[in-house]
Amino acid sequence: MQTEQYSYSDSRRYEGISWSQYVSRTVSSGVPAWGSGQFSAGPAYGLWFLACIGVAGMQRVYLGHIFSGIVYCLTYGFCGIGQLIDLCMIGSMVNDLNVEISTKVQQRAQQFAQQQPAYVGAPQQPGYGGQPAYGGQPGYPQGSPGYSPQPGYQQGAPGYAPQQGYQQPPPNYQQPPPQQAYQAAPAPNQQINKE
């Protein structure tokens, strides 16, 4: 089974997936994690360091915890205690959200693959090299499924005689004469010598 691969920022990868509240808050143009498809610890730690200039809680907004991010911003991360706890938790928070995204994308891909109809070809019969069965072909029961004869061609019609393999030519048959050897045409500037 061949599956089509999409980049993390391709919105087709995420169609029809219902996310947790945290991931759903970060969906941008159909792609979670603010349009990148996966969260990264680097930007989360960078946003955590904004607390040093008085803007706390932005790492929580980045990870989809928007309400608590606003509360952190208004209370300076619960007087810095929440910011210190988040410093230790950012890695696991990022990992948990990325695992959710990956798991749901894989589940969607499996469901999509199961919904695709399998190729249904003509029935295969042993002994014929995997070729499809012909109804009435030697070795097959009459009326077996397979290809039907061409329109206007009916068995039992006047003049119908099934071929039984190679037949000897009639006694008055003459083989055609052998063809003459092919001679290349002269080049445009070449003179022709006639003898």
DSSP string, 131-152: PBPBTT-TTS-TT-SSBPPPTT
For 59-89, the pLDDT digits (tens) are 999 999 999 999 999 999 999 999 999 999 9
Distance CA 36, CA 187 (A): 66
pTM value is 0.56
Distance CA 133, CA 79 (A): 80
Q: Please state the domain extents for the chain.
A: 17-112
For 159-188, the pLDDT digits (tens) are 555 555 566 777 777 777 766 655 555 666
User: What pLDDT does 185 receive?
Assistant: 59
Angle subtended by helix axes 41-48 and 81-115, to nearest 10: 160
Residue 127: pLDDT band with limits 50, 70, 90: very low
Helices (H), the chain: 21-24, 41-48, 58-62, 66-79, 81-115
Contacts of 178 (CB under 8 A, 6+ apart): none
Q: What residues does 14 pair with on adjacent strands? A: none
In the Cβ-directed half-sphere of 57, how many Cα atoms lie within 13 Å?
Answer: 16
C-beta separation of 55 from 73 below 8 A: yes
Burial, 130: exposed, middle or buried (Cβ in 10 Å; 0-12, 13-18, 19+)?
exposed
